[in-house]
Amino acid sequence: MNLLLIRLIIFAVLFWAGLKLYRMYREWKLAQDNDSRPEAIDDGRMVRCAYCRVHLPEQDAVRRDALWFCCEGHHSRFLEEQQPKG
């Protein structure tokens, strides 16, 4: 009976130590994951290119009159398509 009680106590201590180590590892891993994530960048308002309909941050867009474009090339193409043919 004595030997059974000692084994039970040893098992309980090992289980508690394993659980404690697991929790420490999980917190360390979570901290590592948070450190490796890039910071969220708030680029402000999103706008849509009038030519290709792609959304992009306002600071990266080109504004002509009341329209937004993702690049100068799309602005030129948009103007070419708007010209009356004939």
Task: Provide the residue ranges of all domains of the chain, joining segments of one domain with +.
Answer: 1-37, 46-82
Q: For every one of its 86 residues, what pLDDT tens digit does the chain have, with 9 covering 90 and above?
A: 789 999 999 999 999 999 999 999 999 998 888 776 666 666 588 999 999 999 999 888 999 888 999 999 999 999 998 877 65
Structure tokens at 17: 């130590």
The label of the residue with tokens 């100068």 reads 72
* Residue 60 near residue 71 (C-beta atoms within 8 A): no
> In whole angstroms, how far apart are CA 62 and each of 16, 80, 81?
61, 17, 18
Report the pLDDT value the prediction gives residue 46, as an integer from 0 to 100. 92
pTM exceeds 0.75: no
Report the pLDDT value the prediction gives residue 41, as an integer from 0 to 100. 63
